[in-house]
Chains A and B, each alone.
Chain A
Amino acid sequence: MEKLIDKQRVVQHMNGRLLRNNVLKFLFFLATLFGLIVLVVLLYRIFTQAIGWLNIDFLNNFPSRRPENAGIKAGLVGSLWLMVIVAPVSLILGVGTAIYLEEYAKKNRFTDFIQTNISNLAGVPSIVFGLLGLTLFVRELNLGRSVLAAGLTMSLLVLPVIVVAAQEAIRAVPNQLREASYGMGATKWQTIYGIVLPAAIPGILTGSILALSRAIGETAPLVVLGIPTFLAYLPRGIFDTFTVMPMQIYNWTSRPQADFQNVAAAGIVVLLVVLIFMNSIAIFIRNKFQKRY
C-alpha cells in the first residue's frame, strides 16, 4: 500500500517553504530599512554640505549675489509672517467645518457632498491651488504678491488636512460627556464650547501643527503666485511682498555656482530645524494632553 504521508517528502518540501519564508522576510525587512537608509543619507549629505555655511551671519543676512554673503533672514521672517495668516484662517475654517460636520450636520446628501468634496480637495495638487490663488487673490482681489494673498492660498491648501484631523479628534470625544452636559441643562453650543472642544483640543492641535508645518515647507503654490526670492527688506504688514524659506532654497538650488548649493543646504537645515521644532511641539501635546476615554 502506498504511504499516505511520506515523511521524507514532507520534510524536504517544508524546508523549502520555510527557507522561502525566511528569505522573503529578510527582503521585506530590507525594504522597510530602505526608507531609513535614504533618510540618513539625505540628512548626512545636507548637514555636511551646510556645515561651513551655517552661522549667525547666515541667519542675519539678506539674500546676496555672492554666496558667502547670502542669508536666510528674509525667508525665515517671511515664513513666520505666512503663519500669521495661515494659522488663524485655516484653524477657524477647519475647526468650524469639523464642528459643523460632526455636531450639527444631519446625515443627508448635502453633508455627504461636503465630506466627499473635502477628501477630493485633499488630493488636488498644490500647484493647482497656486493657480487659484494667482487668479483669485493676486489678480481679482488685487492683493498682489502679498503675505495676505499667499496666506489665504496656503490656508485653502491645508484646510482639508485640518478638517479631517479635527473631525477625528471631535469624534473621539465620547457621547457620555455630551449627554452629561445636556443633562446638566447646558445648551448645544455650551456643550460644544465647554465640553467637546476642550476634550478635543489636543488632537486638533496635533493635527493642525502638522498641517501648518506642511504649509511652511510648501513651495509650488508660492512659485505660481510669483513670490519673489530676492528681497532685501522684511515685510511690515500683511499687504507687503515677502519671501519664504522654501522659495529661497529653490532659488539657491537652481543657481549654477557650486557654492550656492552649499547655501541651499544651509537653508534646508534651517527649514528642517523649524519643522522639527514644530513637530516636537505636536508630539509633546499629543503625549502630554491626549486623554483616552
Chain B
Amino acid sequence: MAMTDGNRSYSVRDMIKENKKKQNGQQFVEWLMPKFLLLTAIISILTTIGILFTLLFETFIFFERVSIVEFLTSKEWLPWDEKTGSFGVAPLVTGTLLTTAIAMVVAIPIGLASAIYLSEYASEKARKVLKPILEVLAGIPTIVYGFFALTFVTPLLQKVIPNLGIFNALSPGIVMGIMIIPMVASLSEDAMSSVPNSIREGALGLGSTKLEVALKVVLPAATSGIAASFMLAISRAVGETMIVAVAGGSSPVFTFDVTKSIQTLTAYIVQVTTGDAGYGTTVYYSIYAVGMTLFVFTLAMNLLAQYISRRFREEY
C-alpha cells in the first residue's frame, strides 16, 4: 500500500520506520535531560563538599604546625614571625564580634522600625516607592561602602570623637549596619505582613491604636520571622569583608575599644592574600583555619535562623 503526496510517495512501512527513528531520538533526549539536570543539581552539593574539604584539609595542616589549644586559647595573634609567632584566634574573633555588635545596634532598631512602618503604617503607594529604594541600598557593592566608611564616616566621627583612629571598629561597624538595614527591614516586613489581617482588625475593633496593634499583636505573632532575620543579619555582618578590610585596620589586638584599629577574621584573610605570604608557609595555612572559624560561625547562625523560623512559627 502506498500513499501519494504530489510526486513523493511513502509506504506506511517507511513512515513507521521514520517515526520510530524520530521517537528514538526523542526518547534519548527524554532519557538524557533528567540525568543532565540532576548533574547540574549535584554541582551545588559538590560545592559544599568542596568548601568543607578545602577548609578541613588545609586547617588540618595548620594544626599540625600550631596546636589547636594555642589557636583557641591564646590571646595573641602574631602570625608574621615564623619562629616566635603566636596564633591565638581570640583577637580576630573579638574584632569580628565588635564590628558585628555595632552593626546590629544600627541595623536592628532602624531595620525593625522601617519594617513596622512599611507593614503597619505606610500606604500602598508609599510602600511601592520606599521598598525599591531600600533594595538599592542593599545592591550597592560592599567595596563602595568601605570607601564611604573610610573617606566620609570616619572623618565625620573624628569631629565628634577626637581620639578616633583613622582605622577603627566604630565606623565600619556603623556602615555595615546601614548596609544590613534593608535585609532586616525586608525579612521582618515579610514576617509581619504574613500575620493575617483578621487579627489586626480584632485588636482595632477592641479600641487599640495602630501602635498598640503593631507592638502588642503583630510583633509577638511575627517573632519567629523577625528573630530569624536578626540571625541572618548577624551572619551577614560576621562574613562581611571589604568594609572592615578597608576601614577597620589590620591590628589584631584583644580589645573592646571601638576607637582603636582592629582586625576581623575576614580582614585577616584579605591582608594575607593581598600580601605575598608564600604558598606553604604557616601564615598561608592560617587563613584556612580562620576561614574555617568563619564558616562554622556563619553556618551555625544560618542553621539557627532556619530552626527558629521553623520551630516557632505561628500557623494561622
Contact surface of A with B, Cβ cutoff 8 Å: 17-18, 20-21, 24-25, 27-29, 31-32, 34-36, 38-39, 41-42, 45-46, 49, 92-93, 96-97, 99-101, 104-105, 113-114, 116-121, 123-132, 134-136, 139, 156, 159-160, 163, 187-190, 192, 210, 213-214, 216-220, 223-226, 246, 249-250, 253-254, 261, 264-265, 268, 271-272, 275, 279
Contacts and interface: CB of A to CB of B under 8 A. Distances in A.
A29 B273 CA distance: 43
A219 B241 contact: yes
Interface of B: 26, 29-30, 33-34, 36-45, 47-48, 50-51, 54-55, 58, 109-110, 113-114, 116-118, 121-122, 130, 133-134, 136-137, 139-144, 146-148, 150-152, 178, 181-182, 185, 209-212, 232, 235, 238-242, 245-246, 266, 269-270, 273-274, 279, 287-288, 291, 294-295, 298-299, 301-303, 306
A100 B37 contact: yes
B143 A253 contact: yes
A250 B146 CA distance: 9
29 contacts: A25-B117, A27-B113, A28-B121, A35-B178, A46-B144, A96-B36, A104-B38, A117-B45, A120-B48, A125-B241, A126-B239, A128-B291, A159-B43, A160-B44, A188-B30, A189-B29, A189-B30, A189-B33, A210-B139, A216-B141, A217-B142, A217-B143, A218-B142, A219-B242, A224-B270, A246-B242, A261-B151, A268-B143, A271-B144
Given A32-B118, A131-B55, A272-B144, A118 B44 contact: yes
A21 B34 contact: no
Q: B interface, by DSSP: helix, strand, loop or mixed?
A: helix
Contacts of A275: 139, 141
Contacts of B148: 42, 45-46
A99 B43 CA distance: 14
A29 B34 contact: no
Contacts, number: 245
A32 B242 CA distance: 25
Given A35-B182, A125-B266, A135-B54, A100 B211 contact: no
B294 A100 contact: no
A35 B133 contact: yes
A120 B288 CA distance: 19
A94 B45 CA distance: 13
B141 A246 contact: yes
A25 B121 contact: yes
Contacts of A220: 142, 241-242, 245, 266, 270
A127 B269 CA distance: 8
A121 B47 contact: yes
Contacts of A42: 140, 144, 148, 152
A99 B40 CA distance: 10
